[in-house]
Structure 1
């Protein structure tokens, strides 16, 4: 199985940013995930990296060193700084005749008073010792010699690396090749300020795209933001604008179709005027229509009872008319009003 150590050595948390930009980089998790899939088969580790984070390189070194299968390393370009530490994990390390190895002291950017600087200096000395451990285990050299080479920032040709026993073999030995000397002292790592800016901008972008109703915010510069209105969205991102518009139309049509159907389910003889006004004029919901029908039903019942009372009073003036007839008429009116209300509630699935 082949594993590539190419581009800067970075942390797991920063890997997605490099991937998003399409920049080749390697983090511990990216390597350990591949190692887990290897299932003890032999590994071929191809290296072309200017280095990066020494602690993330240490994690990769440990994972390769601990791997139960055979690990063959090939320096096909450059193995500088932290990448040279990773190379030392190979059971057998080969180097292209055009490649180079660079070893140097650890470095860090810091600020503070003399106490901070003294503490940082001690920290860097210890880090150099741990880096030298990887070179010592591979070459068998003494610490003092390795630390002196690191102090000088030593660049090694394939033959020099072989002489120092930092590699086991020069690739294509015995073949005629044109040597190309080229090395970039930069690691290729994105500055931390760029990482943080991209991380913050992506958070803002994600938040904006998750809330379609809010204005879309796009990065303009560090000082100000440009608010994108619908016209700009249509001009700059016509496909996205069309998609949002079509989604809105589809949702609107579905919502109106459901409203009309719910109102039709409430249709009762005698309430056509309320139903038609709701469907075509007022645009109110089915729940609001039901309330209007109940109100109208209540008023009709009151009007009916009032008329029945007037008729009863007239009948009472006629000799021989029984009060029982008045009670029967009132009960009839209440019963009919109750039946209408029950009919409406049954249609709404809420029969009493």
Structure 2
């Protein structure tokens, strides 16, 4: 009987199923640093979880994520590959971008019916001059090579074919993934509810904003109430790991958070302090640039990031260069240099040295004239 359930929140947890088996749930964005609320999957978190699980021989990794940081994804992939346990990957909904890299660490990769994998080229934001933009493009090419090597090891496909898939931002259903070597089997008993509306996709109650991707998967259109409710079957609810269902408990303010969850409050404060220290350190590193000290001081007081301050510095630098160029143009115009008679150039136009000397003599003569004939 279908039931209506609230959308689940991001989940990242690990638990032992028996003395020798464990389950790792990655239902959250893949990021480099842990957030205050531990609602993301990070290399540090995965490493800590694997250590806490102890000596287990089998680990099931459940994935429903639209990815995130490519570096974090590659690091987590390597942690799982290096672990002595047999790794079974179960794609419970979506394994896109960096999450698809993590999925490739499985000794066995199982797709739920309706689940999808997506691969694409790495991308980033960058601000800077032409040299810096070229260096960033070269870096992205290197990262793309790393991704292709991971996919190649798992699928056996040649690099050119994989490069075409990344260029096209390729979406793979379970059957597609098996056919192309990205998965080993499709679990027909495990049904994944999937829909999309206005670029927001829902896989098993987990919402993903796919508007930043170059292509959108061919999914059924979601209902009007897709933002708040999702129809699921009892069978689909069983896909969710322990703690992934139920209504969220709300906390009204920091005082209530501190009273109810002192450990989380303490961790949040500590993380906030560290983030602020990092922000200020990154901002101060920009202060040595010409004219940047005042901009950095304002950025620190207004809570701006180093990236925002860098943009302000670049804008100020462009304005300063424009003003300097205008000032020099005006100085040159006021000097009367444009009045130097052209017929004072040497007759021997084929002699560059003579031409330069004549031009210099003409400029000096005009300068003396402006100064009242001083020698």
Q: 2:167 aligns with which of 131, 151, 155?
A: 151
Q: Secondary structure at the match of 1:46?
A: strand
Using a 3 Å threshold, how does the CA distance of structure 1 residues 176 and 132 change in structure 2: closer, same or farther? closer
CA RMSD of aligned residues (A): 3.1
The structure with the greater share of residues assigned to strand is: 2
- Contact 1:52/1:187 (8 A) holds in 2: no
1:15 counterpart = 2:15: no
Using a 3 Å threshold, how does the CA distance of structure 1 residues 102 and 177 change in structure 2: closer, same or farther? closer
Shift of 1:35: 1.4
Using a 3 Å threshold, how does the CA distance of structure 1 residues 187 and 46 change in structure 2: closer, same or farther? farther
Instruction: List runs of 5+ in structure 1 lacking aligned partners.
Output: 189-197, 208-221, 225-352
Match for residue 29 of structure 1? 44
Match for residue 194 of structure 2? 180
Using a 3 Å threshold, how does the CA distance of structure 1 residues 176 and 28 change in structure 2: closer, same or farther? closer
Match for residue 25 of structure 2? 4
- Contact 1:50/1:187 (8 A) holds in 2: no
Instruction: Return the index of the structure with the highest Cα Rg.
Output: 1
Shift of 1:157: 0.9
Residue-by-residue CA offset, 1:98-145 (whole Å, 9 max, x unaligned): 211110000111011211111111110110010111111111001111
Match for residue 141 of structure 1? 157
Residue-by-residue CA offset, 1:248-302 (whole Å, 9 max, x unaligned): xxxxxxxxxxxxxxxxxxxxxxxxxxxxxxxxxxxxxxxxxxxxxxxxxxxxxxx
Q: Secondary structure at the match of 2:113?
A: coil
**Normalising by the residue count of structure 1, what TM-score does the alignment of the two structures yield?**
0.50
Q: Please list, as runs of the form range in 1=range in 2, the aligned pairs for 1:262-273 lying within 5 A after superposition.
A: none
Residue-by-residue CA offset, 1:25-60 (whole Å, 9 max, x unaligned): 111121112212231320000001111111111111
**Normalising by the residue count of structure 2, what TM-score does the alignment of the two structures yield?**
0.47
- Contact 2:115/2:192 (8 A) holds in 1: no
Distance 1:88 1:40 in 2: 20
The structure with the greater share of residues assigned to helix is: 1
Shift of 1:16: 3.9
User: Which fold has the larger relative contact order, with Cα–Cα distance below 8 Å and residues 6 or more apart in sequence?
Assistant: 2
1:203 counterpart = 2:273: yes
- Contact 2:113/2:190 (8 A) holds in 1: no
Using a 3 Å threshold, how does the CA distance of structure 1 residues 187 and 18 change in structure 2: closer, same or farther? farther
- Contact 2:34/2:41 (8 A) holds in 1: yes
1:46 counterpart = 2:116: no
Match for residue 109 of structure 1? 125
- Contact 1:43/1:72 (8 A) holds in 2: yes
Distance 1:124 1:95 in 2: 29
Distance 1:128 1:32 in 2: 24
Q: 2:186 aligns with which of 162, 170, 175?
A: 170
- State which drifts further: 109-118 or 75-84: 109-118
- Contact 1:97/1:158 (8 A) holds in 2: yes
Using a 3 Å threshold, how does the CA distance of structure 1 residues 6 and 118 change in structure 2: closer, same or farther? same
Q: 1:86 aligns with which of 94, 102, 109?
A: 102
Residue-by-residue CA offset, 1:280-335 (whole Å, 9 max, x unaligned): xxxxxxxxxxxxxxxxxxxxxxxxxxxxxxxxxxxxxxxxxxxxxxxxxxxxxxxx
Match for residue 160 of structure 1? 176
Distance 1:122 1:129 in 2: 11
Q: Please list, as runs of the form range in 1=range in 2, the aligned pairs for 1:177-256 lying within 5 A after superposition.
A: 180-182=194-196, 183=201, 184-186=208-210, 202-203=272-273
Residue-by-residue CA offset, 1:61-85 (whole Å, 9 max, x unaligned): 0010011110000000100000000
Using a 3 Å threshold, how does the CA distance of structure 1 residues 5 and 147 change in structure 2: closer, same or farther? same
1:129 counterpart = 2:199: no
Distance 1:199 1:74 in 2: 35
Distance 1:49 1:151 in 2: 21
Distance 1:142 1:128 in 2: 14
Distance 2:183 2:60 in 1: 15
Distance 2:100 2:147 in 1: 10
Shift of 1:18: 3.5
